[in-house]
Amino acid sequence: MTITEQIAKNIIKKLIKGEDYRIEVVALINAEFLQFAIDFFKRIVDAKLKSKDITIDWYKKEFLNPELIARDIAINSGLNKKTIHNMFNSSTKEIVIYAANEHYDALYKTKTVKNIVIMNSNKNILFLFTYFNLL
């Protein structure tokens, strides 16, 4: 049983017993985010092990790939589907791909997206930090 399955089971038990289940919802959100972060870094490490350069173009090709599901494309661009739907009155995959690419390009062009790559002396450990400079 995965962590999210266990948490969902705990939520159902608490609902049936009439207990407060909100802490379980927070735990579920945390577990999903942790899994997202692990998967994200796995893809980066995998690329480095295959001797690929981690660049803005690589990130865009890998993480804004039209073959991904729309939700992932949106999140990887720094948006979510609800925001895209509010902006375009639609959140079809085609609209999500368009909005994600436009948003990502706008962030890159305004120098809002910055990348820091740190490797050890053997260049086999990679840490990639993407952050948004809001000042």
What local confidence, expressed as pLDDT, does residue 56 receive? 78
For residue 121, pLDDT beyond 80? no
User: Each residue of 31-74: pLDDT tens digit?
Assistant: 888 888 888 888 888 888 888 887 778 888 999 999 999 999 99
Per the CB < 8 A criterion, the answer to whether 3 and 31 are in contact is yes
Per the CB < 8 A criterion, the answer to whether 104 and 78 are in contact is yes
The residue that leads in pLDDT, 22 or 122, is 22
Per the CB < 8 A criterion, the answer to whether 117 and 127 are in contact is yes
How are beta strands 126-132 and 113-119 bridged, if at all? antiparallel
Per the CB < 8 A criterion, the answer to whether 96 and 73 are in contact is yes
Confidence of residue 126 (pLDDT cuts 50, 70, 90): very low
The CB density around residue 99, as the number of other CB atoms within 10 Å, is 23
User: Each residue of 90-115: pLDDT tens digit?
Assistant: 999 999 999 999 998 887 777 655 55
**Mean pLDDT of the chain, nearest integer:** 80
**pTM of the full structure:** 0.65
Q: Tokens 């980066």 identify what position?
A: 44
Per the CB < 8 A criterion, the answer to whether 91 and 79 are in contact is no
What local confidence, expressed as pLDDT, does residue 114 receive? 53
